[in-house]
């Protein structure tokens, strides 16, 4: 498929390969083991796991995404395309694409595909059409049905349920090639939350780092799931995208251990990228008058929860938390045109700062 461990292929490329193999099986009456797929970037050889002609006008093919060095939930997932050949009618499309088992359906506006249609994105659709059209006999058309048998189960590990894509995963890809450890695909998936919220006229958005933040926000704030936007580790990216879309005011809610990094100007909160939690905490504790011995205790602590225990003991936890929340707001104002309401919590969802807007609290 690809020539190293650092690139793979997209679900859209595999779906195209299966569609092409199934069509070739109908036309050539042969099982196909490998096909050449034209992607927006280059031609790829894609291995087909299974290909079978089931009638004179119908065949299916199965392939999967080979593993590559990336935490992709769709790796090793079987993708199936069933192709049916029929007489074309004037004025109708010669390649009709639809979804089957395990391919999600769009239920909310704001995505690239209309509400009610299957979540097969524009580039994969175009790849299927362009790869199949030239092989069609004169006067013939095809119906292509993409299925992903494990798609509904895998979808629970993706953003699809949050985006209103129900019943399965999406068939994605913009270049046909998936790059190892690339943040691009993940960023593309999380930013669509903003488009869905805007298209649905959802206001009073609450940005959270991830699933834990979402659960705690729903527990402590008077909001619905539709108001929550997960940033993952890409807080800076999501704030920038919000600003571009005219979203200038929202609540930033989450555990102190994640949000504190923003106070130090670390807008990518992934631990492996940068981690200044204890340094930031010690700085703000010192600004609030904590003495040297206790600052040393803070610096030697392993987690922000341990640090908060020490600050509670010293009766300065709220003061320090307020200082950190103010620093988060100031850092964001320096970089974006945003007015943030910052809410810092512990793992139980208990509020740590009190310099916040009360309008979202239960």
Cα Rg of the chain, angstroms: 25
Q: What is the mean pLDDT of the chain?
A: 89
Please report the pLDDT score of residue 157 as a whole number.
83
- Of the listed ranges 2-16, 78-92, 192-206, the least confidently predicted one is 2-16
- Cross-strand partners of 179: 7
Residue 119: pLDDT band (50, 70, 90) is very high
Q: Is the pLDDT of residue 106 over 90?
A: yes
**What would the two tokens of residue 168 be?**
């399965």
Write the DSSP assignment of 168-223 as a string of letters. Answer: EE-B--SSSEEETT-SHHHHHHHHHHHHHHHHTT--S-EEESSHHHHHHHHHHBS-
Nearest to 264 by CA among 288, 273, 351: 273
Residue 312: pLDDT band (50, 70, 90) is very high
Mean pLDDT of 134-146: 94
Phi-psi region of 102 (alpha: psi -120 to 50; beta: other; left: phi over 0): left
In what helix (H) or strand (E) does residue 153 lie, and over which residues does it extend? helix 151-155
- Cross-strand partners of 45: 36
Write out pLDDT tens, residues 217-252: 999 999 999 999 999 999 999 999 999 999 999 999
Q: Are strands 34-38 and 249-255 parallel, antiparallel or unpaired?
A: unpaired
Please report the pLDDT score of residue 177 as a whole number.
47
Please report the pLDDT score of residue 4 as a whole number.
46
- Of the listed ranges 29-33, 118-122, 296-300, the least confidently predicted one is 29-33
Write out pLDDT tens, residues 25-47: 999 877 789 999 998 878 999 99
Q: Is the pLDDT of residue 274 over 90?
A: no
The rounded distance, in Å, linking the Cα atoms of 215 and 210 is: 9
Q: For residues 166 and 115, is the Cβ–Cβ distance under 8 A?
A: no
Q: For residues 193 and 187, is the Cβ–Cβ distance under 8 A?
A: no
Please report the pLDDT score of residue 137 as a whole number.
92
Nearest to 340 by CA among 358, 328, 353: 328
Please report the pLDDT score of residue 162 as a whole number.
85
| pTM summary value | 0.75
Distance, first Cα to last Cα, the chain: 53
For residue 351, the Cα-to-chain-centroid distance in whole angstroms is 28
The rounded distance, in Å, linking the Cα atoms of 351 and 359 is: 14
- Of the listed ranges 138-147, 273-282, 352-361, the least confidently predicted one is 352-361
**What would the two tokens of residue 298 be?**
């803070």
Please report the pLDDT score of residue 175 as a whole number.
54
Helix (H, G, I), strand (E, B) or coil at 60: strand
For residue 210, the Cα-to-chain-centroid distance in whole angstroms is 11
**What would the two tokens of residue 285 be?**
């504790």
């Amino acid at each position: 498929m690809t020539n190293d461990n650092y690139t793979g292929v997209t679900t859209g490329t595999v779906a195209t390969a299966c569609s092409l193999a199934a069509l070739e099986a109908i036309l050539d009456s042969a099982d196909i083991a490998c096909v050449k797929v034209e992607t927006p970037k280059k031609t790829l050889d894609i291995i087909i796991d299974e290909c079978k002609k089931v009638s004179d006008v119908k065949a299916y093919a199965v392939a999967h995404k080979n593993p590559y060095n990336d935490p992709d939930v769709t790796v090793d997932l079987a993708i199936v395309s069933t192709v049916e050949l029929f007489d074309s009618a004037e004025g109708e499309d010669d390649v009709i694409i639809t979804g089957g088992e395990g391919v999600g359906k769009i239920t909310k506006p704001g995505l690239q595909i209309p509400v009610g249609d299957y979540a097969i994105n524009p580039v994969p659709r175009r790849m299927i059409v362009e790869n199949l059209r030239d092989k069609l006999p004169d006067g013939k058309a095809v119906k292509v049905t993409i299925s992903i048998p494990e798609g509904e189960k895998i979808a629970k590990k993706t953003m699809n349920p949050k985006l209103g894509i129900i019943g399965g995963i999406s068939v994605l890809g913009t270049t046909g090639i998936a790059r190892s450890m690339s943040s691009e695909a993940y960023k593309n998936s999380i930013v669509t939350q903003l488009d869905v919220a805007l298209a649905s006229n959802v206001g009073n958005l609450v940005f959270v780092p991830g699933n834990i933040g979402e659960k705690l926000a729903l527990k402590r704030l008077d909001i619905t799931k539709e108001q929550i936007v997960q940033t993952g580790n890409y807080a800076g990216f999501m704030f920038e995208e919000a600003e571009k879309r005219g979203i200038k005011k929202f609540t930033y809610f989450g555990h102190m251990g994640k949000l504190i990094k923003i106070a130090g100007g670390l807008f990518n909160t992934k631990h492996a990228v940068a981690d200044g939690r204890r340094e930031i905490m010690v700085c703000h504790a010192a600004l609030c008058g904590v003495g040297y011995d206790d600052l040393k205790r803070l610096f030697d602590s392993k987690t922000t929860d341990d640090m908060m225990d020490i600050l509670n003991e010293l009766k300065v936890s709220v003061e320090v938390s307020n200082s950190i929340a103010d620093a988060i707001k100031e850092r964001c104002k320096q970089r974006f045109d945003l007015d943030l309401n910052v809410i810092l919590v512990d793992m139980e969802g208990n509020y740590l700062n009190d310099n916040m807007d009360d309008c979202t609290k239960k």
